Structure 1
Amino acid sequence: MSIQISAQHVKKLRLKTGAGMMDCKKALQESEGNFDKAIENLKLKGLASAGKKASRRTAEGIIESYIHAGAKIGVMVELNCETDFVARRAEFQELSRNIAMQIAACPQVEYIDVESIPLSLIEEERRLEAGKDDIVNKPEGVKKQIIEGRIKKRLNELSLLNQAFIRNPDISIQDLINQNISLTGENIKIRRFVKFLLGEGIDKSGQDFSEEVASLIKS
């Protein structure tokens, strides 16, 4: 007898893979509710549409801009798809606006994904963590585990695709893109982005610039 799978789990798998609802339910039943195994099963069957399209060329798209209220934070992002037809669709343009707003709302985000983060930065973060007082005297195995956990958390903070979507924190930006891949039938990728913060790099004596940016975003 197949196990009972909740609609919430089916929906989560669909958002993650872009596969059909019944295919997601069946994959979860076959994997006895194991989410990672269900994803793997869908990929093996060629049903995870986002995964299938990931290698397809994206040469079309749009450049979206967003200026936050008060005109002190600005973002430009290039979002790519496969055809100009999809680039002109309202859903694709809404996605690009949402991503631009997400970038503006995440002061720590500097890279598109974890894979884009330079190895030199990762090693520097690892060195800094290794020297912190709260772990310096711990056993080597425990110390290594704590460091790697903190590094993973830090890399996720720097990665745009790993951020919880500001309009629906139950999904990540990667999940949001996967939804739109399923909707449009085309591969979609964030190619690059740039943030502009008014006064960045200018000496502001007596002010904490990071706190200022955070207050601007909340305003």
Structure 2
Amino acid sequence: MEISAQLVKELRDRTQAGFMECRKALADAAGDMEKAFGILKQKGSLHAQKKSDRVTSEGLVSSYIHAGSKIGVLIEVNCETDFVARTEDFKTLTKDLAMHIAAASPKVVDRKDMDEKIVSEARERFLEEAKDKPENVRHKIVEGKLDKFLQESCLLEQAYVKDPGITVRDLINAAIAKLGENVIVNRFVRYQIGEANG
């Protein structure tokens, strides 16, 4: 099957994967964009898993100031080598992540970073909200709400603002596959005028 350059470009724009990788995924999916996206998403996750224990001692601190200068973000994104840190792809990734944080206001990078006290308070609040529900479904309701709360609070689990069809973790996994190095978000801080703790 002949795969058009336009179709490859659309998939590249969506996934940040290389040209040949997108072309192969589209060929394997018989030109079906969603199937090809699924193939590349799976590959990105596999690439990320293979590289996840590599040391990330290089990287960049990037910033984003939203129009009107009422919201600002500083973010540290790490990779394995200074060479990759200086590439346009890596710089673009750090800028996109900072912009996402400004828009989506995550609290932490990953679930493991969430303060147990905040999780306990959220669970109590959801238990109170579900107190009139039958006993046999109350636990499922609370756990479902807690899971949604954590997804919305944790950067890696949020839907990426530029493409809600993928998560921030998917975006980073695609970058890992493209750059050939482990990439992690080490930390970030988001400032907003009028917020006490940024």
Which band: TM-score by shorter chain?
A: 0.7 to 0.9
Letter in 2 for 1:56: R
Alignment partner, residue 213 of structure 1: none
Alignment partner, residue 158 of structure 2: 163
Aligned length: 168
Deviations 1:145-190 (A, max 9, x none): 1000000000001011111111111111111101110011000000
Matches within 5 A, 1:162-201: 162-201=157-196
Alignment partner, residue 17 of structure 1: 43
Deviations 1:184-208 (A, max 9, x none): 1000000000011112239xxxxxx
Alignment partner, residue 71 of structure 1: 69
Letter in 1 for 2:73: V
The CA deviation at 1:141 is 2.1
The CA deviation at 1:12 is 1.9
The TM-score, its normalising length taken from structure 1, stands at: 0.72
C-alpha separation in 2, matches of 1:123 and 1:201: 22
Q: Does 1:140 align with 2:135?
A: yes
CA contact (8 A) 1:16 1:179 kept: no
Q: 1:78 to 1:16 in 2, by over 3 A?
A: farther
C-alpha separation in 1, matches of 2:84 and 2:96: 16
Q: CA RMSD in A?
A: 1.8
Q: Does 1:110 align with 2:107?
A: yes
Alignment partner, residue 124 of structure 1: 121
The CA deviation at 1:15 is 2.2
**Which structure: larger Rg?**
1
C-alpha separation in 1, matches of 2:42 and 2:117: 31
Deviations 1:102-129 (A, max 9, x none): 000013x101012221222211111111
Letter in 1 for 2:83: F
The CA deviation at 1:52 is 0.4
C-alpha separation in 1, matches of 2:164 and 2:38: 13
CA contact (8 A) 1:50 1:181 kept: yes
C-alpha separation in 1, matches of 2:116 and 2:35: 35
Alignment partner, residue 217 of structure 1: none
Q: 1:59 to 1:152 in 2, by over 3 A?
A: same
The CA deviation at 1:7 is 4.8
Letter in 1 for 2:128: G
Judge which range, 141-150 or 193-202, deviates more.
193-202
Letter in 2 for 1:63: V
The CA deviation at 1:53 is 0.3
Secondary structure class of the residue paired with 2:152? helix
Letter in 1 for 2:76: E
Letter in 2 for 1:146: I
The CA deviation at 1:8 is 1.8
The CA deviation at 1:143 is 0.5
C-alpha separation in 1, matches of 2:123 and 2:35: 35
Identity %, equivalent residues: 40
Letter in 1 for 2:38: K
Bigger fraction of residues in helix: 2
Q: Name stretches of at least 5 consecutive residues in structure 1 with no aligned partner.
A: 20-47, 203-219
Letter in 2 for 1:187: N
Q: Name stretches of at least 5 consecutive residues in structure 2 with no aligned partner.
A: 1-27
